[in-house]
Structure 1
Amino acid sequence: MVIGKMIGKNEPEVIATESRMARIFGFSERKVRDYFKDARIAPAKYDLLLGIKIFVENSSGKDEIAEARKVDTDTKKFKLAILQGEYHHKDSIELLVSDMLARFKAKLTALPTKASTQLLNISSRREIENILKTLIGESLKELSEYKELKMEDIDVDRAEDS
């Protein structure tokens, strides 16, 4: 229980009991006795403001140390993932994507020539649509198969030209 403001020059402004300190800081009463020795003004009574100051001083550095440990652990995990091939260099990814787009562009560019020969003597609108859908589907299939593409499948000269 907080007793309140006391009158006097060197006396604490707010006094808290040991059980109150334990509830405030989430400590056991035994830990309160050990942790806040310097804030103790009488048996089972503590200067609350001094206790808060002690708690803040002792806690602030621990957060930084914990954060540094977490960063170190995350860095080690990331390096391991790189070694295991889970991550790739951005130049490799750019090359893969460039090659994928070059292949798709080639398919689309060839589409009119391929379509014109197939559509030459067809007059049925539905049949023309089906042929065009099939040709477009083949081009899109090329784009959808990028997950299976590997670095050794890339034509480096063609990818760099596009």
Structure 2
Amino acid sequence: MSRILAKESTLVEMLGVSDRRVREVCKDFKVDTGKYLLIESVSHYIKTLKDEGKQEIANLRRADTELKEFRLKVLKNEYVPIDQIELAITDMQIRTKSKAMSIASEASSDVLGKTSRKEIELIIQKYVNEFLEEMANFNFGGGENEI
């Protein structure tokens, strides 16, 4: 193959790319400052475009597959919209606060008249344990104790 040389500016004009892109893609075919092997540089640029195109197609197919999988999961109700989650968490926070605040009034009648610190502590502990168990069994599905 004959060695036809082209200036960087000629390759820029022929390929319709920036001088930086020419330097990047054709660096292996540079023979002197600003001079490249013409045929090899153009061939390599075309191959690079094909490879980049194939990669882009693969990326698009992968993204399309992921989107289809996501849509399928949405249709199967495997995903919940964020506003429903925010509503459920807010409701749970309100219920938790309300239940925690009621412990004192509920326990007060049971501790009334008790003089033993240990006995009072056990009564309060009973109410706290009931509260914690109720919170542990909290269900986000709807209905009694549920969202």
TM range (shorter): 0.5 to 0.7
Aligned pair 1:125/2:117, yes or no?
yes
Question: How far does residue 78 in structure 1 lie from its aligned partner after superposition?
Answer: 0.8
- Structure 1: gaps spanning 5 or more residues: 1-7, 12-46, 157-162
Aligned pair 1:95/2:87, yes or no?
yes
Normalised by the length of structure 1, the TM-score is 0.58
RMSD over aligned Cα, in angstroms? 2.9
Query: Distance in 2 between the 1:49 and 1:9 partners?
Result: 11
State the structure with bigger RCO (CA 8 A, min sep 6), 1 or 2: 1
The count of corresponding residues between Structure 1 and Structure 2 is 114
Percent of paired sites with the same residue: 32
- Structure 2: gaps spanning 5 or more residues: 6-38
Aligned to 2:4: 10
Classify 1:54/1:115 alpha carbon distance in 2 versus 1 (closer, same or farther; 3 Å): same
Aligned to 2:142: 151
Normalised by the length of structure 2, the TM-score is 0.63
Classify 1:85/1:56 alpha carbon distance in 2 versus 1 (closer, same or farther; 3 Å): same
Question: How far does residue 138 in structure 1 lie from its aligned partner after superposition?
Answer: 1.7
Contact 2:103 2:127 in 1 (8 A): yes
Question: How far does residue 52 in structure 1 lie from its aligned partner after superposition?
Answer: 4.2
Aligned pair 1:134/2:126, yes or no?
yes
